[in-house]
Amino acid sequence: MPIKKRLFVALLAISVVFLGGLAIIVWYLLTHQGILLNQIIFALLIGGAALFLVVIGLGILFLVLALWSAGGIQTPRNMMLLAVNSLFPLALTLGQLVGIDREKIRASFIAVNNQLVHNRGVHVNPQDLLILAPHCLQWSGCPHKITMDVNNCKGCGKCPIDDLRRLADTYGVQLAVVTGGTLARSFVRKHRPKAIVAVACERDLTSGIQDVKNVPVMGILNSRPQGPCFNTLVDIKQVEESLREFLGMAPGKNEEPRGINYRLGG
């Protein structure tokens, strides 16, 4: 398991230990400090907390097995999602407390998500596949409004949008360029894709993946040579490989659909 994925899994495990320790402290205080509680309510609270920790712990165990086996072992997806979504905020906080950059933790989460999606072997029809891209990929000096209609792109080659549009046309998939999470969620609700290839920064990808947890999302980080949210770039080859995987096509080997520029970001 690459170190990138191990980071997030380790933080999840530490979060479970932290919650377990907190539960033990609360139990000790309630039973040794003379606080009178209804024994039935107390037992239900302790039992509920213990059950939650067991389920979450099993979810992390299944997550490790899924990553280790690369899909060779079938694991309960819902239990893994519960563990990840429940503990992610705590894992993020604990990681920051020990000096780990939050973007590094989010990138690790995205890597884990992508591996799990890969393990599932999801295949969809082209019309059910969506490329979701942020508007910051558009050249800052472009006068054309592409968030309403990506076909307004004139193909000048100054940003990755034209390459993404050509990819969408080549493979017959949908492409949406959005200004933020609200518009992205609205587009997903309207078009109901069965799989998504999403391009964004660590923060937006993390929140987006969690928002549409019932739809498999392959997350691709953009690069920001000029800073966040300004003239960002994306690896077009990585986008294409994700499309081909969802479409059940073999990884491209020296195959370059005509008209697509494979430099980073166009």
- Of all residues in the chain, what percent carry a pLDDT higher than 90? 45
- Read off the tokens for 50: 């213990």
Q: Which has the higher per-residue pLDDT, 155 or 72? A: 155
Of 120, 153, 173, the last residue of a domain is 120
> Is 259 a domain residue?
no
Same domain, 41 and 80: yes
Domain count, the chain: 2
Same domain, 139 and 107: no
Task: List the CATH number of the domain containing 141.
Answer: 3.40.50
> Is 254 a domain residue?
no
Domain residues for the domain of 36 are 3-120
Q: Which residues pair with 221 in a beta bridge?
A: 200
Same domain, 176 and 94: no
Same domain, 50 and 146: no
Phi, psi of 145 (to 5 degrees): -85, 110
Q: What is the pTM of this model?
A: 0.81
Same domain, 151 and 93: no
Residue-wise pLDDT tens digits, 215-238: 999 999 999 999 988 999 999 999
Angle, nearest 10°, between helix axes 102-120 and 77-97?
A: 160
Cα 15 to Cα 12, 45, 71, 204: the distances in Å are: 5, 20, 25, 23
pLDDT surpassing 80 at residue 91: yes
Residue-wise pLDDT tens digits, 41-64: 666 777 788 888 888 888 888 888
